[in-house]
């Protein structure tokens, strides 16, 4: 695929008619659809074109001539430049209302259906919530400064930011300190990235480096770690090269309502918003309506984020995941929490699974699935064969949830309940949950 060619500069006045599913304003001009970043329905704006095709263009707001009634002042000074957020000009309440509308549209357009019941939107912490992130790092000679932060929206450059309002304060308030620490390294131009993993008990920063650190560099980092209360890990190549600089630490998060503590590695997938995650898991368990006779299967189970809480209330639960490392940690977490009625298996759920022990001749009356953005079309077709009567589907993509809903209806399930959850406030990301019941 060729590079996006930058169109010739064009400035135009636009009246914004609606909000797209990516959080951009929608306008029409000269028989073209214009998607305008930073604009809200009902506004009149001056915008600059940044991309053009035969039937649509993309633009950025230059000036708001007539603001919408619900426009607010963004909290972050680099909002509109930084690519980390896209929705700070809209209140958190209005954001989640928009996301609910997008989910409703997805169901109507793809599956031609609405749920029988809509859940109240699930919200928790909306600022300083983000505990997992990948930050860019760049030594800028002209500024004589190392920048640490998210990349700009329209380029690979690092946004010049002193703090981040959505990152957890353990890191979000210390971007300048991190930059100054890296400035002191002999290889400051060879550190392109920091992977952030903030647990309830510790904070780990994985430094990607293209050349080896000297002994003096390592001491600088250890001193910085003590000052900031963090632990540095280093990564010279692939994920297998990640190692602690000094002593390794244990990372944990919890589900106190269900007496569960989860241990994880800095490179493991975990939800970015711990408070919302606790609410989400409790909601999923309520929708499953668990009792001690239930046999449950949790597909795409990861570390056992849902599996282990389910085990507290069901007769038996099986977790299935494609990553062998996550399965090992899920088993260890089950043992750590004294759970004996949960088993975990490794399997690629996008391939044939009929021969696996957990599938062959087994039945489960309830199921939970939490797939990646691509959805779970391959595995949901097998749910009737497993005997699943009640299914909770957690989704990070309304489009694939709606597509999979169409298939679930086709194979005999009804869409009972659905709703949105604000896992990523200040962004257009939509997390949702749906309950299906066998007809």
- As a whole number, mean pLDDT of residues 28-39 equals 93
pTM, two decimal places:
0.94
Residues 228 and 290 in one domain: no
What's the CATH code of the domain at 148?
2.40.50.1070
Residues 104 and 160 in one domain: no
Residue 267 included in any domain = no
Residues 214 and 303 in one domain: no
Residues 191 and 279 in one domain: no
pLDDT at site 6: 60
Q: How many CB atoms lie within 10 A of CB 345?
A: 17
Q: How many CB atoms lie within 10 A of CB 290?
A: 21
Residue 86 included in any domain = no
Does 223 score more than 80 pLDDT? Answer: yes
pLDDT at site 355: 87
Beta strands in 121-274 (DSSP E): 132-140, 145-149, 193-198, 203-208, 231-235, 243-244, 251-255, 260-264
Instruction: List the helix and strand counts (H, then E) for the chain.
Output: 10, 22
Residues 28 and 177 in one domain: no
pLDDT at site 153: 85
Residues 429 and 287 in one domain: yes
Residues 243 and 295 in one domain: no
Alpha helix segments (H runs only) across 342-411 = 377-380, 383-386, 398-410
Does 306 score more than 60 pLDDT? Answer: yes
Residue 261 included in any domain = no
- The closest alpha carbon to 27, from 11, 42, 9, 5, belongs to 42
- The closest alpha carbon to 180, from 215, 144, 151, 205, belongs to 144
What's the CATH code of the domain at 311?
3.40.50.150
**In the block, which residue shows the tokens 């790092």?**
137
- As a whole number, mean pLDDT of residues 124-132 equals 97
Active-site residues: which are they? 396
What's the CATH code of the domain at 43?
2.40.50.140
Residues 284 and 422 in one domain: yes
Residues 189 and 113 in one domain: no
Does 1 score more than 50 pLDDT? Answer: no
> Where in the sequence is the domain holding 168, given as residue range(s)?
132-198+203-249
pLDDT at site 94: 94
**Could you tell me the pLDDT band of residue 3, with boundaries at 50, 70 and 90?**
low
- At 213, list the tokens: 């650190």
Is the Cβ–Cβ distance between 82 and 59 less than 8 Å?
no
Is the Cβ–Cβ distance between 182 and 148 less than 8 Å?
yes
Binding site, annotated residues: 76, 82, 85, 164, 271, 300, 305, 321, 348, 370
- At 42, list the tokens: 């009902």
Residues 234 and 279 in one domain: no
The mean predicted confidence, pLDDT, of the chain is 95
- As a whole number, mean pLDDT of residues 96-118 equals 95
Residue 389 included in any domain = yes
Q: What percent of the chain has pLDDT over 70?
A: 98
- How many folded domains does the chain comprise? 3
Residues 55 and 145 in one domain: no
Does 154 score more than 80 pLDDT? Answer: no
> What is the C-alpha separation between 396 and 290, in angstroms, rounded?
24
Residues 332 and 381 in one domain: yes
> What is the C-alpha separation between 48 and 36, in angstroms, rounded?
9
pLDDT at site 7: 63
Residue 254 included in any domain = no
């Amino acid at each position: 695929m060729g590079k996006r060619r930058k169109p010739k500069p064009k400035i135009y006045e636009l009246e914004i008619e609606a909000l797209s599913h990516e959080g951009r304003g929608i306008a029409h001009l000269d028989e073209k659809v214009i998607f305008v970043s930073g604009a809200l329905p009902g506004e009149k704006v001056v915008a600059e074109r940044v991309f053009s095709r035969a039937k649509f263009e993309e633009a950025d707001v230059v000036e708001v001539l007539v603001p919408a009634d619900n426009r607010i002042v963004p909290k972050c000074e680099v909002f509109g430049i930084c690519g980390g957020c896209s929705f700070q000009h809209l209140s958190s309440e209005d954001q989640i209302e928009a996301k609910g509308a997008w989910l409703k549209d997805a169901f109507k357009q793809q599956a031609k259906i609405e749920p029988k019941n809509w859940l109240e939107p699930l919200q928790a912490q909306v600022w300083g919530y983000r505990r997992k992130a990948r930050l860019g790092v760049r030594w800028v000679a002209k500024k004589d400064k190392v920048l640490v932060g998210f990349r700009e929206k329209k380029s690979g450059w690092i946004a010049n930011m002193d703090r981040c309002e959505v990152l957890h304060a353990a890191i979000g308030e210390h971007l300048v300190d991190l930059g100054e620490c890296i400035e002191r390294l002999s290889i400051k131009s060879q550190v392109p990235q920091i992977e952030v993993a903030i647990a309830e008990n510790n904070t780990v920063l994985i430094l990607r480096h293209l050349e080896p650190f000297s002994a003096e560099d390592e001491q600088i980092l250890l001193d910085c770690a003590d000052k900031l209360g963090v632990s540095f890990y280093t990564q010279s190549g692939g994920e297998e090269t990640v190692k602690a600089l000094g002593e390794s630490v244990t990372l944990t998060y919890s589900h106190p309502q269900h007496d569960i503590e989860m241990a994880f590695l800095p490179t493991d997938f975990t939800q970015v918003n711990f408070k919302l995650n606790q609410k989400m898991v409790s909601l999923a368990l309520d929708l499953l309506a668990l009792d001690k006779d239930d046999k449950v299967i949790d597909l795409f189970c990861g570390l056992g984020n849902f599996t282990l809480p389910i085990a507290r209330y069901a007769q038996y639960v099986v977790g299935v995941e494609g990553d062998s490392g996550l399965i090992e940690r899920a088993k260890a977490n089950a043992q750590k929490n004294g759970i004996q009625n949960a088993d975990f298996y490794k399997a690629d759920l996008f391939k044939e699974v009929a021969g696996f022990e957990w599938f062959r001749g087994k039945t489960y009356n309830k199921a939970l699935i939490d797939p990646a953005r691509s959805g779970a079309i391959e595995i949901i077709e097998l749910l009737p064969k497993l005997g699943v009567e009640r299914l909770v589907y957690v989704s990070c993509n309304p489009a694939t949830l709606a597509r999979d809903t169409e298939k679930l209806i086709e194979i005999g399930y009804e869409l009972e309940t659905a709703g949105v959850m604000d896992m990523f406030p200040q962004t257009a990301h939509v997390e949702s949950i749906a309950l299906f019941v066998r007809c």
